[in-house]
């Protein structure tokens, strides 16, 4: 790491060695290797492609000294708020609450983007950087760094985000909730399109019929992503296999995609510890997937996380949602999921259920039976996530219902934060 403070206005730290993990602690940590620029008003972090990835204000108008902005590879600014720490951790399993400037399931409430200092920074961050770059007396290494930083202006970053979406076949409308374990820092690889069900209630999936991609298309994606992420690949240790039901793809396609991605992206040599893979499945795909697939997934170093959308074990609710499966399939899927969680150390399968004020009372009664009465003891795995049907409408009654379900659950139980990429 080289540090320069030739100018009192700016301080540089190049190739800072941050955390090698994503610890769940109540103060901000920054994983990976990154570069920093600190001015009198702001702190900026950049990845190894010299693209801005994090920032915060330093003056008294900034909401909280532990709160930061983060920019994703999809070029979204996400504001991480403390939310009171304990309440957020109990609700989400993380100490920081991601806040978005796009429509999402705003369950807990609050919108930092309504604050002038937050929305203003998201709009004007590059202007602040340009002002810093006009300062004098920089050493050659810092001048070179600033030159690269200013090349990565908002237009160029948006173009790179569009290139990412072009490579993988479109924007990732929702990431698996388990991706919180790596701070949603992952590389997306599309191995299939669409989903099986096309449920009426769902607002984050597309209308494509389920289609598995040929291995040649997947391999081409991986090579193009490798070039896109370039110098910053060392800061990644996780992938996401898209889209909405990758578990329904052939076992050979799933295993090939994981092994090829891990090796071509160099994830085993990442600065970050461990490797992880995340993807979605359905009640049908979890019931039909062969046991051998899970055995082989468990042999892969690191962790594999599969998230299954069950929504409800109550038939009336399933019919109301337009989900074309039976309650018996939901119960059978839940039982198989827990059997797999017990059998395989390097595999965790989580489930999703919905919440809403207008659901039949039987929905909650039967959810309770699943998450309370199917196990005698508290489980370490098999996380249960709850998500409301309506977006952008925080509800005290929904939070009360969630807290009640969490108290009786035998499984880790959290709210599903819907984040795109």
Residue-wise DSSP of 98-149: EE-SS-----S---GGGSHHHHHHHHHHHHHHHHHHT-S---HHHHHHHHHH
Q: Give SS3 for 323.
A: coil
Q: So where are the chain's domains?
A: 2-152, 169-415
Give the model confidence (pLDDT) of 164-175 as tens digits. 999 999 999 999
Long-range pairs of 2-7 with CB within 8 A, sequence gap ≥ 24: 2/141, 4/138, 4/139, 4/141, 4/142, 6/137, 6/138, 6/139, 6/142, 7/135, 7/136, 7/137, 7/138
**What share of the chain in percent tops pLDDT 70?**
90
Residue 6: which pLDDT band, with cuts at 50, 70 and 90?
very low
What does the pLDDT read at residue 190? 98
**Is residue 8 pLDDT above 50, yes or no?**
no
Q: Which residue spans within 256-371 are E strands per DSSP?
A: 276-281, 303-311, 347-355
Q: What is the DSSP string of 260-292?
A: HHHHHTTGGG-SSSS-EEEEEE-HHHHHHS-HH
- pLDDT computed for residue 139 by the predictor: 77
The answer to whether residue 138 scores a pLDDT higher than 80 is: no
| Cα gap 174→177, rounded to integer Å | 9
Q: Give DSSP secondary structure letters for 292-339.
A: HHHHHHHHSSSEEEEEEEEE-S-HHHHHHHT--S-HHHHHHHHHHHHH
According to DSSP, the residues that pair with 303 across neighbouring strands are 276
3-state secondary structure of 213: coil
What is the rounded distance in angstroms from the CA atom of residue 74 to the CA atom of residue 358?
A: 34
DSSP string for residues in 195-210: BS---TT-SSS-SPBP
Q: Is the pLDDT of residue 100 over 50?
A: yes
Highest mean pLDDT range out of 206-215, 235-244, 357-366? 235-244
Q: What is the pLDDT of residue 367?
A: 97
**Mean pLDDT across 25-39:** 93
> Which range is least confidently modeled, 64-73, 101-110, 328-337, 405-414?
101-110
Q: How far is 365 from 358, CA to CA, in rounded Å?
A: 14
Residue 292, Cβ density class (10 Å: 0-12 exposed, 13-18 middle, ≥19 buried) = exposed
Instruction: Please tell me the predicted confidence (pLDDT) of residue 64.
Output: 86
3-state secondary structure of 249: coil
CA distance 65 to 223: 40
pLDDT score of 259 more than 60: yes
pLDDT above 50: residue 5: no
Which backbone phi and psi does 351 adopt, to 5 degrees? Answer: -130, 155
pLDDT digits (tens, 9 = 90+) for 38-67: 988 899 999 999 999 999 998 888 888 899
Q: Say if CB 353 and CB 312 are below 8 A apart.
A: yes
- Whether 289 has a pLDDT exceeding 70, the answer reads yes
| CA 218 remoteness from chain centre | 21
Structure-model confidence comparison of residues 157 and 124, the more confident one: 157
Cα(first)–Cα(last) distance of the chain, in Å? 30
Within 10 Å of residue 301's Cβ, how many Cβ atoms?
A: 10
Residue 137 pLDDT class (50, 70, 90 cuts): low
pLDDT band at 106 (very low <50, low <70, confident <90, very high): low
Percent of the chain with pLDDT over 90: 68
Pull the structure tokens for residue 61: 């108008």
Is residue 268 within 8 A of residue 295, CB to CB? The reply is: no
Report residue 415 CA to chain centroid gap: 13
pLDDT band of residue 3 (cuts 50, 70, 90) is: very low
**Angle, helix 291-299 to helix 251-264, in steps of 10 degrees:** 10
Q: Read off the tokens for 122.
A: 């998201």
pLDDT band for 186, please (50, 70, 90 cuts). Answer: very high
Give the mean pLDDT of the chain: 90
Confidence at 10, pLDDT banded by 50, 70, 90:
confident
Sign of the four-CA dihedral 179, 182, 185, 190: negative
Between 62 and 386, name the one with better pLDDT: 386
Please determine, for residue 28, whether its predicted confidence score (pLDDT) is greater than 70: yes
Instruction: Give me the torsion for CA of 96, 102, 105, 110, rounded to 10°.
Output: 60
Give the Å distances, CA to CA, from 193 to 89, 171, 285. Answer: 33, 12, 14
Question: How is residue 9 written in tokens?
Answer: 């206005």
Q: Are 312 and 318 in contact (CB under 8 A)?
A: yes
Rounded-to-integer distance, Cα 145 and Cα 244, Å:
39
DSSP lists the bridge partners of residue 97 as 81
How sure is the predictor about 109, in pLDDT bands with cuts at 50, 70 and 90? low
Segment 240-248 mean pLDDT: 96
Helix, strand, or coil (residue 388): strand
Select from 270, 330, 324 the least CA-distant residue to 301. 270
Inform me whether the pLDDT recorded for 4 exceeds 60: no
In this model, does residue 290 exceed pLDDT 60? Answer: yes
Neighbours of 195 (CB within 10 A): 24
- Please name the CATH architecture into which domain 169-415 falls: Alpha-Beta Horseshoe (3.80)
């Amino acid at each position: 790491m080289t540090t320069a403070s030739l100018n009192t206005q700016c301080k540089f730290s190049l190739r800072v060695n941050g955390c090698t993990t994503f610890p769940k602690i109540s103060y901000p940590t920054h994983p990976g290797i990154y570069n920093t620029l600190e001015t009198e008003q702001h702190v900026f972090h950049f990845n190894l492609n010299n693209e801005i990835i994090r920032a915060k204000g330093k003056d008294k108008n900034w909401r909280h000294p532990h709160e930061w902005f983060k920019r994703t590879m999809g070029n979204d600014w996400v504001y991480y708020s403390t939310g009171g720490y304990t309440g957020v951790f109990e609700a989400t399993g993380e100490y920081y609450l991601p806040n978005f400037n796009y429509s999402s399931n705003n369950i807990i409430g609050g919108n930092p983007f309504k604050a002038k200092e937050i929305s203003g920074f998201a709009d004007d961050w590059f202007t602040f950087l340009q002002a810093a770059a006009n300062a004098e007396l920089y050493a050659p290494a810092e001048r070179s760094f600033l030159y690269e930083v200013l090349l990565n202006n908002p237009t160029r970053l948006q173009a790179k985000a569009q290139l990412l979406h072009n490579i993988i076949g479109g924007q990732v409308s929702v990431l698996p909730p388990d991706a919180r374990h790596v701070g949603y820092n992952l590389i997306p690889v599309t191995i299939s399109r669409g989903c099986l069900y096309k449920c009426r209630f769902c607002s984050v999936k597309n209308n494509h019929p389920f289609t598995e991609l040929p291995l040649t298309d997947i391999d081409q994606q991986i090579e193009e992503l490798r070039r896109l992420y370039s110098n910053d690949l060392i800061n990644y240790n996780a992938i996401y296999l898209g889209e909405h039901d990758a578990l329904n793809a052939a076992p050979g396609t799933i295993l090939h995609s994981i092994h090829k991605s891990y090796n071509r992206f160099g994830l085993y040599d990442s600065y970050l510890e461990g490797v992880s893979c995340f993807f979605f499945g359905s009640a049908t795909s979890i019931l039909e997937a062969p046991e051998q697939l899970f055995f082989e997934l468990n042999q892969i170093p690191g962790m594999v996380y599969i998230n299954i959308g069950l929504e409800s074990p109550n038939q009336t609710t399933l019919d109301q949602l337009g989900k074309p499966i039976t309650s018996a399939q939901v119960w059978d899927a839940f039982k198989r999921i827990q059997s797999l969680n017990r059998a395989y150390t390097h595999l965790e399968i989580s489930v999703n259920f919905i919440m809403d004020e207008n659901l039949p009372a039987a929905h909650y009664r039967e959810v309770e039976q699943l998450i309370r009465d199917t196990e005698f003891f508290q489980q370490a795995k098999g996380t249960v996530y709850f998500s409301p049907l309506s977006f952008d409408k925080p509800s005290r009654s929904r939070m009360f219902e969630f807290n009640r379900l969490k108290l009786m659950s035998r499984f880790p139980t959290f709210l599903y934060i819907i984040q795109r990429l």
